[in-house]
Amino acid sequence: MKREKSPEKVKAGKAVLVLEDGTFFIGKGFGAIRKVSGEVVFSTGMVGYPESLTDPSYYGQILTLTYPLIGNYGVPAYDYDEFGIPVRFESIGIKVTGLVIQELCTKPYHWASRRTLDEWLRSEGVPGIYGIDTRRLTKKLRERGVMLGILQVCEEGKEPNIDRLLEEVKSVPDPNERDLVSEVTIKEPVCYECDGRVRIALIDCGVKAGIIRCLLKRRVDVVRVPYDFSADEILEYKPNGVLISNGPGDPKRCAKTIEAVRVLAEENVPMMGICLGNQILSLAMGGDTYKLKYGHRSQNQPAYDLETGRCYITIQNHGYAVRAESLEKTGLKCWFINANDKTVEGVKFKNGPSFAVQWHPEASPGPYDTEFLFDEFLKRAEKIG
C-alpha cells in the first residue's frame, strides 16, 4: 500500500496564475498546495503585507503585490490587546484567496518575526506564486481592468494542466456576485467596554482591527454589531453615534445595511462611514455606486479636501466608488475627491452630523494623517450624549 505524504512534508513545486483573457503566468509555488479562483487585483504598497493579507476587504480576491521583495520581515505572532483585538493584524486569519509576488524572502529578519510568509500561508491554506513578472501582470490589469483568475500551486514534481485551466477560467464565478460581507461579518454583537464618555455602534461589514483600536484608544465604548442588524436593533444599545465599516465586494449587496443607515439618518444619528461605509451611506441617501476599472489599492492615494484645498495622502483598498453626479439628488455633498482621477473620496450631509470617507483614516498600514476624523466624529457624537 502506498503511503500518502503528510501535508507538512509535501513541498510546493510549480505554480500557475491563469486570467480570464487567456493570459497565464508560470512561476514557483509557496504556501498551500491547492487551486483557488477569485478576482485578481493589485496593490502598490511597499510595506504592510501582514496587515493587507488580513484585511477583510480583500476577501474573495487574489492579491498581487507590486513591491518586488515580500516576506523580508517575516510574520509576527497573533497577539491580542486587553480587548481581545489583534495587535499586529487587521483580523484573525488571512482573508485574501491567494497571493502573487515577484520575489519571496525565505530568511526574514525582524524582532517580532515568528515564522516565514511561506509558513504562514501554508498553515492557513492559502496558495501563493512567486517568480513571475508582476510588472507585466499589473500593467495588464491597469489596461484591461481587474480580471477573474485561477491560481494553482502543484506538489513538487507535478505539472499544472494549463489547457484545462484556460478552459476552466472561462466559467469562474465572480465573487462580487456573492454577498461577501455576510461571510466576514460577526454573527453576534460584541461589546468593548472601557467606561467611555460615549457609546459607538460599529456596523461590522468586515471591519479592520485598526478601526476598533482607534475608537478604543479614545476611551469610548464600542458595540460591534452584524452588518444585517436593523436600525431598531442598533438603537436598542442607545449609541451616541454609528460607524459603518469597510468591507469586501459590491456595496449594493448590503441591502439590509443600506436600509438601516437610511433609517438612522432619519433619526439624525451621527454616522461616520469608512471605505465601503462611504458607499453604503451614499446609497442609503439615494446616491449610486459603480465598479472602478482596477480600483484604488495603495498607501499613497491623494484625497483633496474641496473645502480647505488641502490634500492628504491616504491608504485605500476598494474596487467600487460613489457616482459623483448621483449626489445631486441627495442630501449629501462631495467633500473630498481623488486628486488623480477625480473620483469621490468623501461625502458629508448638507444639513446633518454624518460624513464618510473612501479611505482608511486608521491606516494599518499607511499614513496616519487623517486620524483626526475619528475625533471629529466623536465630537459630533458627544453632542447627542
Q: Is the pLDDT of residue 6 over 50?
A: no
Please, what is the average pLDDT of the chain? 96
CATH number for the domain harbouring residue 151:
3.50.30.20
Q: Nine-digit cell at 280? A: 453604503
Q: Dihedrals φ, ψ of 226, to 5°?
A: -60, 155
CA atoms within 13 A on the CB side of 66: 16
pLDDT tens per residue, range 197-250: 899 999 999 999 999 999 999 999 999 999 999 999 999 999 999 999 999 999
Q: Is residue 158 part of a domain?
A: yes
Do 158 and 281 share a domain, yes or no? no
User: What pLDDT does 10 receive?
Assistant: 86
Choosing from 177, 210, 240, the residue where a domain stops is 177
List the alpha helices (DSSP H) in the chain. 49-53, 117-123, 134-144, 162-168, 181-184, 209-216, 231-235, 255-266, 276-284, 372-382
User: What pLDDT does 384 receive?
Assistant: 72
Q: Is residue 240 part of a domain?
A: yes
Do 151 and 31 share a domain, yes or no? yes
- Which structural domain, as residue segments, surrounds residue 31? 12-177
Q: Is the pLDDT of residue 3 over 80?
A: no
Q: Please state, for a pLDDT cut of 90, what percent of the chain lies above it.
A: 96
Choosing from 149, 177, 205, the residue where a domain stops is 177
pLDDT tens per residue, range 317-371: 999 999 999 999 899 999 999 999 999 999 999 999 999 999 999 999 999 999 9
∠ at Cα 378 (373, 382), nearest 5°?
155
Q: Nine-digit cell at 201? A: 455602534
Do 116 and 252 share a domain, yes or no? no
Active site residues: 275, 360, 362
Do 267 and 208 share a domain, yes or no? yes
Q: How confident is the model at residue 385 (pLDDT cuts 50, 70, 90)?
A: low
Choosing from 177, 210, 230, the residue where a domain stops is 177
Q: Is residue 299 part of a domain?
A: yes
Q: Is residue 114 part of a domain?
A: yes
How far apart, in Å, are the Cα atoms of 125 and each of 8, 33, 36, 82, 95? 12, 8, 10, 29, 11
Domains: count for the chain: 2
pLDDT tens per residue, range 96-125: 999 999 999 999 999 999 999 999 999 999
Q: Is residue 337 part of a domain?
A: yes
Which residues 6+ apart lie within 8 Å of 381 measured at CB?
198, 200, 220, 239, 240, 241, 270
Q: Dihedrals φ, ψ of 379, to 5°?
A: -65, -40
